[in-house]
Amino acid sequence: MHAFDDTHELRTLRDWLRFSVSAFNEAELSFGHGSDNAYDEAVYLALHTLHLPLDTLEPFLDAQLTARERQALLDLLRRRVEQRVPAAYLTNEAWLGEFHFYVDERVIVPRSFIAELLRDGLAPWVDDSEQIISVLDMCTGSGCLAILAAHAFPNAEVDAVDLSADALDVAERNVADYGLQDRVRLVQSNLFEALEGERYDIILSNPPYVDAESVDALPQEYLHEPELALGSGADGLDATREILARAADHLHPGGLLIVEIGHNREALEAAYPDLPFTWLQVAAGDEFVFLLRREELLEKY
């Protein structure tokens, strides 16, 4: 473990960044909760702790830190290295593009590929974003996708559903931060159970999808996240199966179901060989998010 007892020699932001990267690499930290490497995470944590603009580093590199600033940064770095707390929980914020959200250990850290698709209003699958009037975000967690959907579809009412009351408390804070209380309704429900009779133009879901073997092998950082939001049965598809079975009953004619399933494309296609999944292109590839129309689901169910 990297020693933290000689940091009195570190004076400038440049010094602390170099030290942080060395400490992260020596501890063999796992990334994936906002950044994917030691340097980017060190920069983010330092700028956030010092209350500096997150997109401006160069002018401050050789600025000396005060004793109070050095202590604050040291305390945060120790938690990151010794307790392996994800950066988002240390700062209580996560970003999806230009949108930022409050997060803590009651919710999974936002990192959905669906956020990429919402930037363009789900084009070309949605012709006119203003014609969308009802959206469901299933397994909403922090409420991030519900909030993005409300911005992408300005005339839509959005239902944000989660089984966890704790998660909905976090989502409520984020919805309020964006002033969307009149358009985003928070619903505590085990998937569709509390939505009897509700119909939507679009159902979005980033459900739990980590298979049991992978859950057992997760790096320690991920164990800070709610277990309920990660694992979903032996093959990771339990929640997805329930969504597929019931989604058609909750979609308007022509409605869309869009679900993120992680690395489970092969297992999903093997389990549902007759469903004509459309795999949507995101930055990481075309095997993480699928789309089905209501009519395609009705042919199966």
Give the helix, strand, coil percentages of the chain, each rounded to 5: 40, 15, 40
The identity of residue 298, as a single letter, is: L
Cβ atoms of residues 122 and 149 within 8 Å: no
Residue 192 confidence (pLDDT):
96
Tell me if residue 214 falls in helix, strand or coil: helix
Phi/psi zone of residue 291: left (φ > 0), alpha (ψ -120 to 50 degrees), beta?
beta
Residues pairing with 12 in the sheet: 64
pLDDT at 301: 65
pLDDT at 284: 83
CA 26: distance to chain centroid? 27
- Helix, strand or coil, per DSSP, at residue 187: strand
Cα(76)–Cα(237) distance, integer angstroms: 36
Q: What is the DSSP letter of 189?
A: -
pLDDT tens, residue order, the chain (301 aa)? 456 878 888 999 999 999 999 999 999 999 988 888 999 999 999 999 999 999 999 999 999 999 999 999 999 999 999 999 999 999 999 999 899 999 999 999 998 999 999 999 999 999 999 999 999 999 999 999 999 999 999 999 999 999 999 999 999 999 999 999 999 999 999 999 999 999 999 999 999 877 677 777 788 888 888 877 776 777 878 899 999 999 999 999 999 999 999 888 988 999 999 999 999 999 888 889 999 999 999 987 6
- At 24, list the tokens: 């992260």
Measured CA to CA, the distance from residue 186 to residue 240 in angstroms comes to: 21
pLDDT of the residue at 1: 45
DSSP 241: H
d(CA 40, CA 62): 18
CA–CA separation, 212 and 45 (whole Å)? 32
